[in-house]
Structures are given as C-alpha cells and as structure tokens.
Amino acid sequence: MASFRSDALARTAPLYDRVKRVIPPPEWATFAEDVEAILELKRKRNAVVLAHNYQTPEIFHGVADIVGDSLLLAREATKVDADIIVLAGVHFMAETAKLLNPEKTVLIPDLEAGCSLADSITAQDVRLMREHYPDAPVVAYVNTSTAVKAESDICCTSGNALAVVESLGTEHVIMLPDEYLARNVATQTKVKITAWKGHCEVHERFSADDVRALRESHPGITVLAHPECPPEVVDVADFSGSTAAMSNFVGRERPSRVVLLTECSMSDNVAVLHPDIEFIRPCNLCPHMKRITLKNIRHALEANAHEVTIDPGMVDRARRSVERMLAI
Ligand code: 13P
Ligand code: SF4
C-alpha cells in the first residue's frame, strides 16, 4: 500500500508541480492515488470531467478536462465527444449538460450538490409571476431547476445576463431567481427588471463594509465581486463579472494585489496561474460545491453514480430556454 502510494506520488509529480503553491505536500499525498485512478478511468470509459471554477484545486487542476463558469460549461457541453460527462459542480449544471446532451450519460458525483438560488423558486412561482406580469418575458438564471427553465422564455448566466435581457426587445422583463444579479443588471440597462427574492447563500454574506475594511488593511488592493453579491458591494468594487470574467480580469490587468469576493476555491485556482500576484483571501465556502470530491468523482466513474435524468414532460421546453441563451 505504502509503495503503491509512493508510486502514485511519483507518477503525479508533474501535476503536483502545478498546484504546489496551493496544496501542501501531505495533502497531495492523500490525493495522488485517486487522481491517477480517475485519469485511468476517464481513458477506459471515454469520459470527460467538466469542472466549475469553484471546484477545489486537486479537481480543477488535477482531473478536469474542461473548466470554466456556468456559461462556458454549458457551451462546452454541446461540443463534448465523449460517452460520459462527469459534472464536477452542482446539480443545475449537470442538468443543463444533460439537457444539451440527451444521448450521453451525465453523472453528478453527489446528488445533494444543490444551490440556494435553485431552491428559492418553483415552477408554480414562475407561473404566478407570469399571471401578474403577462407582458414581461421570463429570464431564468441557469441556477434553476429544469422545471423552472421549462416555464421560462430564456436562460442567462452571470456572464451574459445583460445581453440576454437586452436581446428580448421588451421594456420590461422578469428576471429570476437572484434578486441581486437582477438589481446589478438593472443598473446597466433601461429595461425595467422585476426580480424574485432569491439569494446565493455564499455571495449574500459579503458587505460593503468588508470591502472598506479590506481597502484599509491592504492598501492598493483591487476588489473583484461576483454579480450575485449585493449591489452595494458591487458598487464599491473595482470590477464585477462572472467567475470566468474575474479570472480573465486578473490575467489581463495583472493587479499586484487582488481579492475575489466569491467562493473560496476560485482564488486558489486563479492563484495557481499567477504566482506573481498576491491574492488576499477572505471568501465564503459553497457547501454544495464542496460536496464534490476526488473520491466521489472516482466512484462516479467506477459505478455510473449518479446518472442525471430529466422529466420527459419538461425536457423540450427547458432545452429551448437554454438553447435560446446559447444562440445569443
Ligand atoms: P458563474 O456562472 O459566474 O461561474 O457563477 C456560477 C455560480 O454558481 C456562482 O455562484
Ligand atoms: Fe449556488 Fe451560490 Fe453555491 Fe453558486 S455559490 S452554486 S449560486 S449556492
């Protein structure tokens, strides 16, 4: 066992070299065997791992084939050639991948990997909103269930929300379920936006006072905030954008000192790419994203666990909402 582990350590040394700034050696020693096993299972089973930017670095840099924000994962899911997609992310992301790949096997390593936004609204709530505002199209954040997508006109992500709202050509839209994303988009458009009261349990915890305190304790810091943060946080940040937009901003602008007001693993993953940039790390953990581990990714590939299925009564309408968004 000890020598198997040290063989795995030796063979994964080039991979470890990438992440050594964010994963201490004793921790990698516990990951190496699973990383190797996953790489082998992917080859054997013709599988790919799609990982969201909030996955931990051993997943993100160690076993993922495609990494990105929700928009990129949805787009890339349409191009995948493999037989099996393992979605290292939360349930709505796996459902979106399945909607776009009905003939492929899509696996989510932990069925409990949910999302507070997706849980904040039901299909019945959407129908009631429509009754109330019959002339306003419904824009659903991808962080929603298939049932909610099926009741909506079009989806959006944090990466394209403004473009989606403005593409509809109406004076008024309903945007759900994230109140803060809707209010942040409303500051950039003349379109009237009616929001739902859903919040992300990770991003709602950041405050404008946090930003002021950071600027005092870390002079010269550049503050990036995800648009799921409250508007008063976005207002005092230097930049706001999707997880991919934040990562691109760091690569493009190369601030000497930066904080990403978002989920914790994001800074680790971006820091791996920019050893010369100082990342200050007050962050909040997403308990749902953190349910995905190397162990359950390995189990997913060994046992086809857990296969994502979609209610046939909703699949066409939900797919139409996602495809309409991808066409923009
Ligand atoms: P992105 O689409 O920006 O990656 O965000 C997804 C998410 O769940 C943020 O909390
Ligand atoms: Fe959902 Fe927030 Fe977690 Fe993203 S960070 S998956 S929006 S709970």
The DSSP bridge partners found for residue 173 are: 193
166 and 80 share one domain: no
H-type alpha helices, 153-230: 161-167, 179-186, 208-217
Q: Identify whether 16 is part of a domain.
A: yes
Q: Which atom of ligand 1 is nearest to the CA of 69?
A: 4
Q: What is the CATH number of the domain that holds 268?
A: 3.40.50.10800
Q: What is the pLDDT of residue 193?
A: 98
**Number of domains, the chain:** 3
Note whether 106 and 120 are same-domain residues.
Answer: no
Q: What is the pLDDT of residue 162?
A: 98
- Domain span at 63: 2-115+289-303
> What is the Å distance from ligand 2's center to 43 Cα?
30
Rounded to the nearest 10 degrees, the angle between the axes of helix 91-100 and helix 70-77 is: 30
Residues at CB less than 6 angstroms from ligand 2? 90, 115-117, 143, 200-202, 228, 263, 286, 288-289
Q: Report the atom number in ligand 2 closest to the C-alpha of 288.
A: 3
Last residue of a domain, one of 183, 199, 215: 199
| DSSP codes joined into one string, 259-321 | EEESBHHHHHHHHHH-TTSEEE---B--TTGGG--HHHHHHHHHHTTTB----HHHHHHHHHH
- pLDDT computed for residue 19 by the predictor: 97
The pLDDT value given to residue 1: 47
- Residues 142, 92, single domain; the answer is no
Q: Are residues 66 and 144 in the same domain?
A: no
Q: What backbone torsions phi and psi does residue 102 show, to the nearest 5 degrees?
A: -60, -30
Which-ligand-closest: CA of 113? Answer: 2
* pLDDT at residue number 3: 63
Residues lining ligand 1, CB < 6 A? Answer: 53, 69-71, 143, 157-159, 200, 226, 228, 242-243
Does residue 79 share a domain with residue 9? yes
User: Which is the closest atom of ligand 2 to the Cα of 92?
Assistant: 6
Examine residue 186 and state whether it is found in any structural domain, yes or no: yes
Are residues 99 and 25 both part of a single domain? Answer: yes
> For ligand 1, atom 4, which residue shows the shortest CA distance?
69
The residue behind tokens 């699949």 is 315
Instruction: Write down the pLDDT at residue 6.
Output: 81
Q: Which of 288, 290, 291 to mutate to test the pocket of ligand 2 (most atoms within 8 A of CB)?
A: 288
Do residues 40 and 84 both lie within one domain? Answer: yes
Residue 321 resides in a domain: no
328 residues of the chain, pLDDT tens digit each: 456 678 999 999 999 999 999 999 999 999 999 999 999 999 999 999 999 999 999 999 999 999 999 999 999 998 999 999 999 999 999 999 999 999 999 999 999 999 999 999 999 999 999 999 999 999 999 999 999 999 999 999 999 999 999 999 999 999 999 999 999 999 999 999 999 999 999 999 999 999 999 999 999 999 999 999 999 999 999 999 999 999 999 999 999 999 999 999 999 999 999 999 999 998 999 999 999 999 999 999 999 999 999 999 999 999 999 999 999 9
CA distance 19 to 22: 6
Are 209 and 267 within one domain? Answer: yes
Tokens of 39: 């790489």
Same domain, 62 and 95: yes
Residue nearest to atom 7 of ligand 1 (CA): 70
Residue 152, in any domain of the structure: yes
- 7 and 102 fall within a common domain: yes
Shared-domain flag, residues 89 and 8: yes
Using the 8-state DSSP alphabet, how is residue 120 labeled? G
Atom of ligand 2 nearest to the CA of 118: 1
Among residues 174, 199, 224, the one where a domain terminates is: 199
Domain boundary (141, 168, 199) is at 199
- d(CA 9, ligand 2 centre) in Å: 33
Are 14 and 50 part of one and the same domain?
yes
Question: Is 9 among the domain residues?
Answer: yes
Residue nearest to atom 2 of ligand 1 (CA): 70
Q: What is the distance between the alpha carbons of residues 13 and 1, in angstroms, rounded to a whole number?
A: 18
CA distance 164 to 154: 8
